[in-house]
């Protein structure tokens, strides 16, 4: 699973294929940290390229209840990312 949305980068090339590259849960603090990385396209990602851009988000305790009611399942994490302003209108791919 991944997301599709063109977002500009400092390299002058848009990243259009977005993959979650890190998820960590702070059970004591009641939050989760999500990193999503953008690549030129899916083929570039699969060939081991470095990401063109990354975004980091912290899910609060309230977010955990809303987006992750059954745990940190991948589809739910992508749903959380799609709710962030950078990824409004992103599509599953």
Reported as a single tens digit per residue, the pLDDT across 14-31 is: 999 999 999 998 888 889
Q: How confident is the model at residue 91 (pLDDT cuts 50, 70, 90)?
A: very high
pTM score: 0.92
Quote the number of domains for the chain: 1
Domain-located, residue 77:
yes
What does the alpha-carbon distance between residue 65 and residue 43 come to, in Å, rounded to a whole number? 35
Domain-located, residue 92:
no
Domain-located, residue 93:
no
Apex 79 CA angle, 34 and 24, nearest 5: 20
């Amino acid at each position: 699973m991944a997301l599709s949305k063109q977002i500009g980068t400092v390299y002058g090339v848009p990243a259009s294929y977005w993959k979650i590259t890190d998820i960590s849960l702070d059970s004591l603090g009641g939050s989760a940290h999500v990193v999503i990385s953008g690549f030129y396209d899916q083929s570039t990602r699969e060939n081991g390229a470095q990401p063109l851009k990354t975004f980091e988000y912290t899910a609060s305790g309230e977010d955990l209840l809303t987006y992750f009611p059954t745990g940190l399942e991948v589809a739910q994490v992508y749903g959380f990312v799609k709710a962030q302003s950078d990824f409004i209108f992103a599509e599953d791919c």
